[in-house]
Copies of this chain bind each other. A is one copy, B any other.
Amino acid sequence: MTSNDPIPHGTERALCASSGFNLPALRGHNTALLLGLLRAAGADGVSRLELAERSGLTPQAVSKITARLRAEGLAADAGRRASTGGKPRTVWRLVPGARHAVGLHLDRDEIIAVLADLAGTPVAVRRAPLAFGAGAGAVLERVAEEVAAVRTRSSAPQVLGVGVACPGPLDHASGVLHRVTGAPHWDGFPLRDALAERLGLPVVVDKDTNAAALGLVGSAADGGAGSFAYLHLGTGLGAGLVLDGGLYRGPRTGAGEFGHQVVQWNGPPCGCGRRGCVEALCLAAVARGDLPGAARVLGVGAANLVELLDVDRVLLGGRTVRERPDVFVAGVADELAAQAAARGRTGPPVRVTTAAGGARAVADGAAQLVLGPLFGPRRQAAGTPPGGPA
């Protein structure tokens, strides 16, 4: 039994890169673009002419597209601006409740499920214990119950799909789990397809750190077309990378393995078989209660990452960070400042902050796995066009 149509505006998708672009794809692209601008504007709203200016489309095209969005219930007008000597502008905003998505955070011992609206705001949250090491059948059953539970919380919202965040390693493209620590029977389990069939909904699977990073796109102050790294320090250490405004997963969903960056190659052995990994050094410091030391080690790894990827900001999250966020932010920021000074780098320093969302951050981000594609490809153009002479 198929669900309500997941993607508005037809089945064609706005393919961005190595794919031919036809008329329906063009329509989808521009529609998604305006939806993204509407989302970015938030509750304040945007006028048609502002949308036209930001999108590069003509005001008339914006009028047509917003009219379609209104007809589909995705956008609505929200009052008017003050006049500047003529007819006042009509302000438009996204209708958050028009569509919803389920976000699931499957951790080793618990499951967090959220039902998020188009703005990403959770309208229902559930948190329950989960034996991830148990059989796949039992886990799927549990997951289905939680999904059904959050779906009934709200008044029959149109659910586009389910985003699932797991500890990894896994393959995002195929939705197959590779390894689950302590539970070898999960190896190669096609989680996405199994869940999709069980739930009758589209399913997207990704690593927990990737989901968390995706959930942070646009939430940071500057509007977020830049690059940042989300560092997650909990039972392990991992990262999610947002480069040029888009989540970078790597060809095998293997990107972001930050924990086993070697920063002391003659250092103490790590469980991974190598020596001097950031994770080993960091967790050892945490174990002996030396949080500033752990922060400093994290800072060394973060400095390497900033050097290599030139990110705008570093966001810290995870259980351990949440215990003393001030210590970790200060420690990492100090290390980055020292590095920038040593390298003679000018300009504003890399901002280090804690990630918003707390314990629910991963589940919120998982919902974005489904919601994100509605709002257009968040990636800048690959190259800058050659500027003409004078």
Contacts and interface: CB of A to CB of B under 8 A. Distances in A.
B273 A387 contact: no
Contacts of A23: 26
Q: Which of A262, A312, A347, A382 has the most CB of B within 10 A?
A: A382
Contact of A196 (B245, B251, B388): B388
Closest 3 CB pairs of A and B: A250-B310, A273-B342, A254-B310
A22 interface: yes
A276 B379 CA distance: 35
A145 B53 CA distance: 43
Contacts of A85: none
A17 B385 contact: no
A390 B196 contact: yes
A38 to B, nearest CB: 14
A363 interface: no
Q: Which of A204, A264, A310, A373 has the most CB of B within 10 A?
A: A310
Interface string A272-310: 111010000000000000000000000010011101111
Contacts of A19: 33, 55-56, 381
Interface stretch (A122-130, A172-180, A317-325): A172-180
A155 interface: no
A265 B199 CA distance: 50
The quantity of this chain's copies bound in the complex is 2
A262 B304 contact: yes
A389 interface: yes
Interface in A8-66: 13, 15-23, 26, 29-30, 33, 36, 55-57, 61
A105 interface: no
Q: Which of A13, A36, A254, A389 has the most CB of B within 10 A?
A: A389
A254 B57 CA distance: 32
A377 B17 contact: yes
A376 interface: yes
A182 interface: no
Given A251-B310, A256-B308, A379 B245 contact: no
A197 interface: yes
- Chain A: interface residue count, which band? 35 or more
A6 B386 contact: yes
A17 B255 contact: no
A298 to B, nearest CB: 12
B389 A199 contact: yes
Nearest to A193: B387
Interface in A178-233: 178-179, 192-193, 196-197, 199-204, 225-227
A248 B307 CA distance: 13
Contacts of A13: 385
A300 B277 CA distance: 11
A384 B173 contact: yes
Given A342-B272, A389-B2, A243 B243 contact: yes
Nearest to A65: B20
A266 interface: yes
A379 B17 contact: yes
Nearest to A256: B308
Given A20-B57, A56-B19, A387-B196, A307 B260 contact: yes
B381 A15 contact: yes
B381 A16 contact: yes
A294 to B, nearest CB: 14
Nearest to A368: B383
19 contacts: A2-B389, A3-B389, A16-B381, A17-B377, A17-B379, A17-B381, A20-B55, A21-B21, A193-B387, A226-B251, A243-B248, A247-B383, A249-B310, A251-B311, A257-B308, A258-B307, A262-B303, A273-B343, A377-B383
